[in-house]
Amino acid sequence: MAQIRIENLRKDFGAFNAVKSSTFTVEDGEFFMLLGPSGCGKTTTLRMMAGLELPTSGEIYIDGQEVGQKPASQRDIAFVFQMFALYPHMNVRKNISYPLVSQGMPRAQVTAKVHEIAEILGITNILDRPVGGLSGGDRQRVALARAIVREPKAFLMDEPLGALDAEFREHMSEELRALHDRMGATTVYVTHDQLEAMQMGDKIVVMNHGSVEQFGVPQDIYDWPATKFVAQFIGSPPMNFLDFHGSIDAGADQIALEGITMQVPQSRHGASGALTFGVRPEHVRLDDSAPYRGRVVATEYLGTTQIVTLDTTNGAVKARVASSDHVATGVTTGLTFDPRTVTIFDAKTGQALRSEANEGVLGHG
Amino acid sequence: MSFSVTEPRMGTKWLAGILVVGYAIITMVPLLWIIATGFKSPNDSIAYPPVILFEPTMEGYVNLFTDRTRATPQMLKDAGPPETWYDEIAQNRGTVITGPSRYGERFLNSVIIGFGSTALCMILGTAAAYAFSRFRVPLKDDLMFFILSTRMMPPIAVAIPIFLMFRNLGLSDTHLGMILLYTAVNLSLSVWLLKGFIDEIPVEYEEAALIDGYTRFQAFYKIVLPQAATGIASTAIFCLIFAWNEYAFAVLLTSGNAQTAPPFIPTIIGTSGKDWPAVAAGATIFLIPVMVFTILLRKHLLRGITFGAVRK
């Protein structure tokens, strides 16, 4: 197993720039998520790690060795495709043994190894079946078995659960995570599903338009987004953005939102002009006595909580409150925001301003 | 989309069956006629009204495969009783067999040239189609159009330049020359057909093989080729049928050494009167290889024709 280091990686397809200068490190044994909307360059980045695309510039280190221009067959990694890509003219056993055969492993050893892996994944009963008739889940297990059997340096997975239906996905994601914990293999996993990323990943890279927006552990990324894009992409519903004109001085811990003073984490930078006040829905509280007002326009019942949508002078705000609270649409109420959780963004650049609260996360990100 | 499928009624099924069988009979009549004529005597073959029921004879086949000379009754008597059944047939017509005819050679030429050009066409066509399908080839679309455009004129339009070219290159009346010519004519069609088939094979299969430690060529050989077998088989049938049946170039460019069966069969008529049974026998035997080839590959042919129409 190995560490994977990506340095200033760039990929152009003709005039189109798919990945711009990405840098991040996947530590040995980590379950690492590459997260972003479609077309953000996450799959291209993964394919460059695999050797299926050659980078335009930059370096890829696997286990300390620069492999950027090496063919896929020499990198000793395994790849799990979204559509599984099981060899359709071979049965399950042949599919799993195929990577071993390419290494010239003796037949008896191949048979033993295939059995061992099939045991782990619980597919010994289908070893002699053709892959054509298998269910989605079994195909997925066979694809994983084919990846694992060679004991590669790392697993690269391109939306491996994307082709499964929702119910089964949940189950497979648990199985996948359990498998990872058991094998301790470095895994890079591409997904556009932020829930999946947070649920399964040790670390997440959020990409957008070919650039790395943020890189860190799920909780840090959720609590302290580096940019408005990350704040919006992660979380459901996403972070609330209250756009306002104003200013904040370095060292200040207050801002004026429509003339109402709000406590915020002490800022490390001064800024003025178009700013955005960002707060997660669960940190918004309805308090009739609060001076900042909003009118309830909708409520969504979600079981233990409900999402209340309010109209304010700075735009719509969603609050996650207990289902037991009675909230009537149409009424105007007061809003308070948990001051420890607020992030102020520069509205023009979309970057979060450093504060005492997020500097620990953004300092090294 | 959803369709409600109801089992057709018995009467409808019968009607459909009768129509299909009727159509099959109509299309089979010329074929059956040729086969039947091969077993008729010369008189029966030109009888009017045509005879449907006749006494079968191998005379046509004997005449097809042998050269004979007319013999006087005295010569026949001297020759003694016929040694084989085909000597007997010849002697009953007042002839003696002098040796085998050239039909066997011509037929073999057809086999060599037909299958040779088909094989070459498949090798070059698959390689070219794979490259066009998988790699970023500069001017790809223009090249593909150029390849197709060679198919737009009838090949015989360039017969004279080809004739001169072959004469200067020493390719006239050679097996190699005919194989090259039929390959050149068929290659454009096979590149187009095969590219369509290879485009349908997801590139992930090869990528998986590359990652599993195989080279690009191994991935092509072990993964793409088995997947493309259907396409290759149906394309091969098209190529073989063209090369097998081609007549005009064969007449023009071959005479002694590399002549194929199609230009030879009509010459049978001239050698000893209007010997229609022998011509029909030649045509019947000539049909067999393509028929066998097509039957062997028919599963692929059907899938090939409907390829891409149904999402599997």
Residue A264 sits in a domain whose CATH number is 2.40.50.140
- What would the mean pLDDT of B204-233 be, rounded to a whole number? 90
Containing domain of residue B242, as a range? Answer: 104-305
Averaged over B165-179, what is the pLDDT?
Answer: 94
pLDDT recorded at residue B272: 58
ipTM: 0.79
Same structural domain for residues B176 and B76? no
Return the pLDDT at B155. 81
Is B89 a member of any domain? Answer: yes
Q: Which of B101, B131, B166 is the last residue of a domain?
A: B101
State the average pLDDT over residues B113-134. Answer: 95
Shared domain for A203 and A245, answered yes or no, is no
Within this chain, do residues A205 and A136 fall inside the same structural domain, yes or no? yes
Label residue A310 by pLDDT band (50, 70, 90).
Answer: very high
A184 pLDDT tier (thresholds 50, 70, 90)? confident
The answer to whether residues A42 and A149 belong to one domain is yes
Q: Please say if the pLDDT value at position A17 is more than 70.
A: yes
**Contact assessment for residue A42 and residue A157, using Cβ atoms and an 8 Å cutoff:** no
Residue B6 lies in a domain: no
Q: What is the pTM of this model?
A: 0.78
Residues of A in contact with B214 (CB under 8 A): 73, 102
**For residue B305, what pLDDT is reported?**
57
- What residue numbers bound the domain in which A303 lies? 237-362
Residue B241 CA to residue B235 CA, distance in Å, equals 10
Judge whether residue A142 has pLDDT over 60.
yes
Q: Could you tell me which chain B residue has the CA closest to the CA of A51?
A: B211
**A180 and A241 both lie in a single domain:** no
Using 50, 70 and 90 to split pLDDT, how confident is the model at B308? very low
Q: Which of A67, A73, A80 to probe the B interface (max B CBs under 10 A)?
A: A73
H-only helix segments in chain B: 10-38, 42-45, 59-65, 73-79, 85-92, 103-134, 140-149, 159-169, 175-199, 203-211, 216-219, 225-227, 229-245, 248-253, 261-271, 276-296, 298-305
Q: Are residues A209 and A268 in the same domain?
A: no
Identify whether residues A132 and A274 lie together within a single domain: no
Interacting residues of B267 by C-beta distance below 8 A, sequence separation 6+: none
Nearest CB among B204, B218, B226 relative to A85 is that of B204
Check if B208 contacts A (Cβ < 8 Å).
yes
Pick the last residue of a domain from B71, B101, B131: B101
Residue A81 is nearest to which of B204, B226, B227, comparing CB atoms? B204
Percent of chain B with pLDDT over 90: 46
* Judgement on whether residues A39 and A188 belong to the same structural domain of the protein: yes
- Reported as a pLDDT band with limits 50, 70 and 90, residue B311 is very low
From chain B, pick out residues whose CB is under 8 angstroms from the CB of A83. 202, 204
**End of a domain among B53, B78, B101?**
B101
Pair (A215, A244) in one structural domain: no
Residues B29 and B143 grouped into a single domain: no
Question: Which residue in chain B is spatially nearest to A148 when comparing CA positions?
Answer: B212
Asked whether residue B312 is domain-assigned, the answer is no
Q: Are residues B124 and B222 in the same domain?
A: yes
Same domain for B154 and B92: no
- Could you tell me which chain B residue has the CA closest to the CA of A87? B205
pLDDT band at B1 (very low <50, low <70, confident <90, very high): very low
Tell me which of A48 and B307 has the higher pLDDT: A48
Coil, helix or strand for B201?
coil
Chain B residues whose beta carbon lies within 8 Å of the beta carbon of residue A88: 205, 227
CA distance A286 to A336: 6
A185/A276 same-domain check? no
Q: Do B204 and A83 touch (CB under 8 A)?
A: yes
Domain membership flag for residue A232: no
Give the number of A-B residue pairs with CB atoms closer than 8 Å: 56
**Domain boundary residue, one of A179, A198, A223:** A223
More confident residue, B113 or A151: B113
Asked if residue A135 has pLDDT above 90, the reply is no
What is the model's pLDDT at position A179? 87
Supply the CATH number for residue B133's domain: 1.10.3720.10
Q: Are residues A242 and A218 both part of a single domain?
A: no
Q: What distance in Å separates the CA atoms of residue A341 and residue A264, rounded to the nearest whole number?
A: 8
Which residues in chain A are closer than 8 Å to B215, comparing Cβ atoms? 71, 73
- Please classify residue A193 by burial: count the beta carbons closer than 10 Å to its beta carbon, then call 0-12 exposed, 13-18 middle and 19+ buried: middle
Nearest CA in chain B to A133: B312
Q: How confident is the model at residue B273 (pLDDT cuts 50, 70, 90)?
A: low
Contact B207 A79 (CB under 8 A): yes
Q: Is B225 on the interface with A (CB under 8 A)?
A: no
* Amino acid (1-letter code) at residue A304: T
CB contact under 8 A, A102 and B214: yes
Overall number of domains in chain B: 2
B181 pLDDT higher than 50: yes
Same domain? For B70 and B175 the reply is no
User: What's the pLDDT score for residue B309?
Assistant: 44
Region B136-142 average pLDDT: 89
Domain contains B277: yes
Chain B nearest-CA distance from A132, in A, is 10
Residue A4 has pLDDT above 90, yes or no: yes
pLDDT band of B3, cuts 50, 70, 90: low
